[in-house]
Amino acid sequence: MRKAISKQSKNTVLLEKEKLDILQESKKQIKDIVQTIREPLMVLDPQLRITFANQSFYKVFKVNKKETIGKKIYNLGNKQWNISGLKGLLGKILPANKFFNNYEVKHKFPAIGEKIMLLNARRLDGVQMILLAIEDITARKKTEEALRISNEYNKSVIETIREPFLVVLDKEYKVVFANKAFYRIFKTNPKDTENHLIYDLGNKQWDIPKLHELFEKILTKGLVFKDFMIEHSFPKLGHKIMLMSARKIKEYPDMPNKILLSISDVTEINLAKRRLAKAYQDLMSLDNLKSQFLIMTSHELKTPITPIMIQAQMLLEGSIGKLTSEQKKSAEIILRNMTRLNELIEDIFDISKIQSNQLKLDGEREDIDRCISEAVESMKPAASKKNIRFNIKMPNLPKLMFDKNRISQVLTNLIGNAIKFTPKNRNVTIETLKQKNDILIKIKDEGVGIEQKYIKKLFEPFFQIQPSYAMKEEGTGLGLSISKGIIERHGGKIWAESKKGKGSTFFFTLPLKRSRGK
Amino acid sequence: MKKKVLIVDDEEDILTSVAMLINNMGYEAKTANNGKKALEMLKKQKFDLVLLDILMPGISGREVLENIREYPKLKNQKAAFLTVVKLSEYGRDIMKKKLKPVDYFQKPINVSDFRRRIKKILG
């Protein structure tokens, strides 16, 4: 019996020994595993004394084996590990549960500073061990915090921008975030906006076909769109013209794409532009109307002038009866002033035609030399009054296509001016020159010259260097601008060159070949 | 026998003034203040020249001349325009084609120039 017992007890002892060996082996294996793990890890006994810690633990928490093994965890490093969070976990959760996962514990260690740790524990009852893994997530947390701050920063930038209005959408076009300006302009709030489909905003006011089109474009093709004009009548907000730009953005590297939509309200500026365009058109048609009015008026005015001038001329001729010298003087005054009135009307008529682009030319192939000679001839009486001689240099020129009456008008105007500004007993020089594509005509006076600042203005309607001068002499101040209109209508150019004190020269060209229709 | 000139214009004072000029030259002036009356007169009696205003209410001077040219008896009627419209504005084609006016006077006229050209037409 005893033998049997003894045998049995021997067996039991053997068994116990075997068991112990296996246990020791298991513990060793666990230690080996723990050692190879890169995260700080320790093995505690049920009394929470450290039986083993891996290299990583010593490294991260800057402690050595001697200070660690056999110590109760709370007493580690001069009770640095006396962490209330840890006490709760090990003292309450672990006795009740086999494990706990991912508990974040933040603790300021006097020696190594603040650490944020992620704690994981396993109660291994078979080997009477507690495995405690302490992941140092301080760096990761810092990065996350930096990202959060940067994100916050971006948001506040977006937030404070007055315009454009920014909306961040997720890939399903739901609003993640919109800035204050957006809420203000579109009279809405975050509650009715965030997490809502953009098309559904404001009772589907935003269900704009063109917006669908744009999003589909960028999302399917991965494109960016910029300054796309969308015009939409919002039931509540009224008609809006918006410039939209959108691009895909990422908040974090591994996050799905979002869409940053920027909306500029260009309603006012566009309406202003349209009003301006309309006003311009109105002005143009008004200007045209003015020209039409002047053209019509000048026709109407010539009707009463016609019989007055016939009568005055007949009186002067004596064909109605012989006049006394006083009567003759009276008729002369009537005729002279009617002639001047007629010229003024002609000028107004011409400038109206030119300005409304209606000046018609009556062209034939003509001799320009003869046209110049005739103009000079007609101006001789005026020149001889001041004893001004004409100095004419004309080579033989080919015939060209031009409106003889109109070119005579230009020549008379330019020669008339030259006489007007040339002092007594001096010369007016007229020269022609055949150039490659045109004929150049120069009319030079020996007057006081024109200041450079006036040179270009000379050809503007109603421009007079000395306004009062025009009142004494004949002229409306339209002569040069009419001449310009006539020459340009012929396809030529007109300009002046002058040096103060050295006289002025007026130039114009007439193309050798005039295009048809002009 | 004095040569006869018909003056057509809707403005009475122009009619009177031009008629004075024509009469003064030794011709006989008759007047019509609209196109319809002018055509009636032309069909009734012979005129050596008809001076036509263009812009008139009712039948225009151009239409009067077109009517004249369509009427066989008046096919060779001498006619000239006397108008405020510049020839270049009206278009030179009015001087060609079937209308064949003998001259084109622009209002207001220079009396001596007018006389010279009228004499040339009437001889």
CATH of the domain at B77: 3.40.50.2300
Of A319, A380, A177, nearest to B17 by C-alpha is A319
Work out the minimum CA distance from A301 to partner chain B, whole angstroms. Answer: 10
SS3 label, residue A163? coil
Q: Using CA atoms, how far apart are residues A511 and A491, in angstroms rounded to an integer? A: 6
> What tokens does A266 get?
């260009």
Residues constituting chain A: 518
Cβ-based neighbour number of residue A314 at 10 Å: 18
- Position with higher pLDDT, A364 vs A278: A278
SS3 label, residue A168? strand
Contacts of residue A191, Cβ cutoff 8 Å, sequence gap at least 6: none
For chain B, say whether A306 makes contact (Cβ under 8 Å): yes
Selection from A6-15, A56-65, A336-345, A454-463 with the highest mean pLDDT: A336-345
Selection from A103-112, A297-306, A488-497 with the highest mean pLDDT: A488-497
Work out the minimum CA distance from A310 to partner chain B, whole angstroms. Answer: 6
The yes-or-no verdict on residue A7 having pLDDT over 70 is: no
Helices and strands in chain A, H and E counts = 18, 17
Work out the minimum CA distance from B71 to partner chain A, whole angstroms. Answer: 30
Interface test with chain A among B89, B94, B96, B112, by most A beta carbons within 10 Å: B89
Is the bond preceding residue B108 a cis peptide, omega within 30 degrees?
Answer: yes
The least confident of A289-298, A417-426, A500-509 is: A289-298
* Chain B residue with minimum CA distance to A338: B108
Its domain, for residue B94, covers: 4-122
For chain B, say whether A310 makes contact (Cβ under 8 Å): yes
ipTM of the complex: 0.91
Among candidates B17, B84, B88 on the partner chain, residue whose Cβ is nearest the Cβ of A310: B17
- Do residues A43 and A131 lie in contact, with contact meaning Cβ atoms separated by under 8 Å? yes
For chain B, say whether A303 makes contact (Cβ under 8 Å): yes
The least confident of A65-69, A192-196, A248-252, B95-99 is: A248-252
Q: What is the mean pLDDT of chain A?
A: 83
Q: Using CA atoms, how far apart are residues A106 and A138, in angstroms rounded to an integer? A: 9
How wide is the angle at C-alpha B72 spanned by C-alphas B2 and B56, nearest 5°? 70
Provide the number of structural domains found in chain B. Answer: 1
Work out the minimum CA distance from A491 to partner chain B, whole angstroms. Answer: 17
Over residues A496-504, mean pLDDT:
88
CB contact under 8 A, A303 and B14: yes
Instruction: Provide the pLDDT for residue B92.
Output: 73
The yes-or-no verdict on residue A335 having pLDDT over 60 is: yes
Q: What is the mean pLDDT of chain B?
A: 92
- Chain A residues inside the 8 Å CB shell of B18: 310
